[in-house]
Amino acid sequence: MFISVLLILLTRFKMSISERKHIRLTLDIPAVRHTKEGERLAFVLYQISIGGCLIEWDEGIEEQEEFRMEIQLPDGNWLPLSCKALYRFQDDGIGVQFLDITPFEQELIVKIMSSNLEQEGIPLEVDPFDKPKTFFSAEMRKSDMGLDNDS
């Protein structure tokens, strides 16, 4: 039972890492979402990359829904972005892709990331434009993890 659960978790983790196009950093960044009714709702980004982010759970956002978001820049201005909710982790968070993002907007996101890390006393030692490294090869099997028996 434990081995089966472990394999399912590793498979999910492997898939999410291998599908990533950009390095993602775990940071708590305040943001604002614009609702269809024109309201501005404050929320928190838990993870961010130059291609998307993970936001806190919001009942008002459906999977595949497009919406507008603003992230505060280090100088106090706001970066408006078009977004799409790609997946929802029930009661946990929503995976969001930035749509039609320009290189200039990506550079501004890097500034947001750098500024937040600097406030925490952590230098930005990775290039946010790099593709993330994978932890597992495509050929990984149970035997590769030493799980080839039923113990």
Question: How far is Cα 108 from Cα 103, in angstroms, rounded to an integer?
Answer: 9
pTM above 0.75, yes or no: no
Q: Just give the CATH number of 23-126.
A: 2.40.10.220
Q: What does the pLDDT read at residue 19?
A: 56
Q: What does the pLDDT read at residue 97?
A: 95
Q: What does the pLDDT read at residue 60?
A: 87
Q: What does the pLDDT read at residue 18?
A: 47
Q: What does the pLDDT read at residue 36?
A: 87
Could you tell me the pLDDT band of residue 126, with boundaries at 50, 70 and 90? low
